[in-house]
Chain A
Amino acid sequence: MGDSSTKKSMLSRLVPLLTSLARRGLAGWFIAIGLIMVIAIVAMTLLAPWLSPHNPSAIETGPPLSPPSSQFPLGTNKMGQDMLSRVISGGGIMIQVALLSVVICMAGGVPIGLLSSYSGGTLDRILCLIMDSIYAFPGLVLAIAIALMLGRGVVNMALSIAVVYVPSYFRVIRSQVLSIKEMAYVEAATATGAKGHTILSRYILPNVIPSIVVVATVNFADAILTAAGLTFIGLGVSVDIPDWGYDLTVGRGLLTTGVWWVIAFPGIMVVLLALGFTLMGEGLSELWNPRLEQ
């Protein structure tokens, strides 16, 4: 099958990458483990149609609210849907939302951050004010407010998360740019007659990228959790697609009746995915800014 051969070629590139990471010490391990976790979960979601034993949306696959058993290893929910299948297929929405929000965030936050800190002056002051105000808001509350305004849907969820996260990129980029601006190699570029946009794109941006990547991984993790939260309170997507967030909402209500398996397993998956990204972020951060200098 086409998929398994592409999988093989990806794996063959992956293994040397992982071994070289493992040799880089603890930071490398973090990145490697985080990477494996994320890839595993994403792969699982992509291969869901082939992996799930039952149709995750089909009601009354089994007796409703039955605890984990040999037939249904993760139990069934109120509508008799198989939880294992739902867990395997439920990541799609979250991953899409997280990915989209990170992309929107970077596309917006990075240029704004670069321009603001490089030009300085009034523009910088105004943008700082705006960004600090957004930053001061509790993220989830703001996301909820925006989601309420925009309505449901993957894109709208992504947008609301993105708006909340732009200030983080802005701050990180700004602090980096401010220090890089003073470096001799930027002065040297000015002295050779380079124009502002050249300096930004070839001298400043490449040196800021490591920080951007680190923020992006934390962004991913946060987006996943926020998406779960939004769905939790009903601002997610429609109910017929299997979604961890939805199961978390429903599962919470069922907890009081002793039905723990509907909330637990999707919950674990959300945590694992967020953790994978966080580990990568931590590892990359340690790798690029080692705490132990020789």
Chain B
Amino acid sequence: MNGDRIIRVEHLKKYFPVEKGFLERLLTRTRNYVKAVDDVSFSVLKGEVFTLAGESGCGKSTTGKLIVRLIPPTSGKIYFNETDITKLQKEQLRITRRRLQIIFQDPYASLNPRMKIGQSVGHPLEIHGIAKGSEKRKKVLEILERVGLVPPEQFMNLYPYQLSGGQRQRIAMARSLILRPEFIVADEPVSMIDVSLRTTIIDLMLDLRKELELTYLFITHDLAIAKYISDRVAVMYLGKIVEMGSKQEIFTNPTHPYTQALLSAIPVPTPERKKKTLELKGEVSSAINIPPGCRFNPRCSYSTDKCKKTEPELIETTKGHFVACYKAEA
């Protein structure tokens, strides 16, 4: 794993306009936005597993989709191998897509129900004119075997409905991998799979990382899985990164109050643990009306006046460990 930055994201923002009724639009001037991603910057190093962790609505999935250019950013820049891919269009974008792929959360929705497995997995090869006919078939069989679907011939002519969730997820992976991408965004790839089967998929991802020299952006709400798979973790809250660092740092030395609360809330499979869930007031604010100052302050037990006025920057406290919190700076 070398230190090259394969992905660099700078001040990325994605605001979704809120649809208003006709009358409301007439009577009010202001436009409301859901600030799904609100100024996010980070880098992913080649060969690592970088995790974006957080609860639902924090913007992690949106960030993932922004990076693979599924949705256009409102502002900010995305660099792939130091090339600016933010504004690429049409043909150039298509070529870039070969190297940036995404795996989705829902194995039941990510495969075309009317395409046979062989067709689904082989289609990317057709799209980019890489292989046809028997050559294509060979590559499809190869990749199916690689993801653990053996014997591969058996799966070629099946339809998705004939397979289980775990198998479908492997096929989705095969489809992403057949183009030999360099970077893969995995958006909650195991949250809809049976618990006892999750590690097979995760271990597969880790094996493939070594074999095919991949880099992953792993998106999850499950910090326990994040701990198992990640090299580095960034915790997101309401569209911003609040803490970022190596796995070691984040899990043994969580500094941001939100991270601490998050970690204390995770169920641990040991009976009668004398653990107290850290008190967190209220609920997550709406992403339309983000509170002024630090967006976490309404729920924070350590909130001060400064916290309510100005938003803290993401600052490096120890080497490689970044926190956006005034308490941590002290």
Residues of chain A touching chain B, judged by Cβ–Cβ distance below 8 Å, are 183-185, 187-195, 198, 202-203, 206-207
For window 87-127 of chain B, which residues contact chain A by CB distance below 8 Å?
Answer: 93-95, 97-98, 100-102, 104-106, 109-115, 123-124, 127
Contact B94 A193 (CB under 8 A): yes
Contact of B101 among A183, A184, A191, A195 (CB under 8 A): A191
**Least Cβ–Cβ distance between B97 and chain A, in angstroms:** 4
List B residues 156-187 near A (Cβ within 8 Å): 172, 175-176, 179
List 22 contacting pairs A-B, 8 Å CB cutoff, sorted by A: A184-B105, A185-B110, A188-B111, A188-B172, A189-B112, A189-B123, A191-B70, A191-B102, A192-B123, A192-B179, A193-B93, A193-B95, A193-B97, A193-B124, A193-B127, A195-B127, A203-B112, A206-B114, A206-B115, A207-B112, A207-B113, A207-B114
CB distance from A101 to the nearest CB of B (A): 28
Nearest A-chain residue to B128, judged by Cβ: A193
From B113, which residue of chain A is reached at the shortest CB distance?
Answer: A207
Interface centre among B101, B106, B123, B179 (most CB of A within 10 A): B123
In the assembled complex, the Cα of A190 lies from the Cα of B123 at a distance in Å of: 12
Contact B101 A185 (CB under 8 A): no
Minimum CB–CB distance for A192 against chain B, Å: 4
Give residues in B with beta carbon < 8 Å to A. 65, 68, 70, 93-95, 97-98, 100-102, 104-106, 109-115, 123-124, 127-128, 172, 175-176, 179
Q: Contacts A184-B104, A198-B127 given: A190-B70 contact, CB under 8 Å?
A: yes
Chain B: minimal CB distance from A55 (Å): 50
**Are A184 and B109 in contact (CB-based, < 8 A)?**
yes
Query: How far apart sit A198 and B126, CA to CA, in the bound complex (Å)?
Result: 11
Residues of A within 8 A of B172 (CB): 188
Task: Check B70 against A185 for contact (C-beta < 8 Å).
Answer: no
A185 touches B123 (CB 8 A): no
A187 and B185 CA atoms in complex are apart in Å by 13
| In the bound complex, CA of A195 to CA of B127 (Å) | 8
Q: Are A184 and B110 in contact (CB under 8 A)?
A: yes
Residues of B within 8 A of A190 (CB): 70
A188→B127 contact, CB < 8 A: no
Which listed residue (B93, B102, B109, B127) contacts A183, Cβ 8 A?
B109
Contact check, B113 vs A188: say whether CB atoms are below 8 A apart: no
Bound complex: CA of A185 vs CA of B101, how far in Å? 13
Interface contacts beyond A193-B128, A202-B123: sample of 11 additional A-B pairs, CB < 8 Å, sorted by A: A184-B109, A187-B102, A188-B111, A188-B175, A189-B123, A190-B70, A192-B97, A192-B127, A193-B97, A194-B127, A202-B115
A158, B111: Cα distance in complex, Å: 39
The distance in angstroms between the C-alpha atoms of A109 and B222, with both chains bound, is 47
A184 CA to B115 CA, complexed, in Å? 14
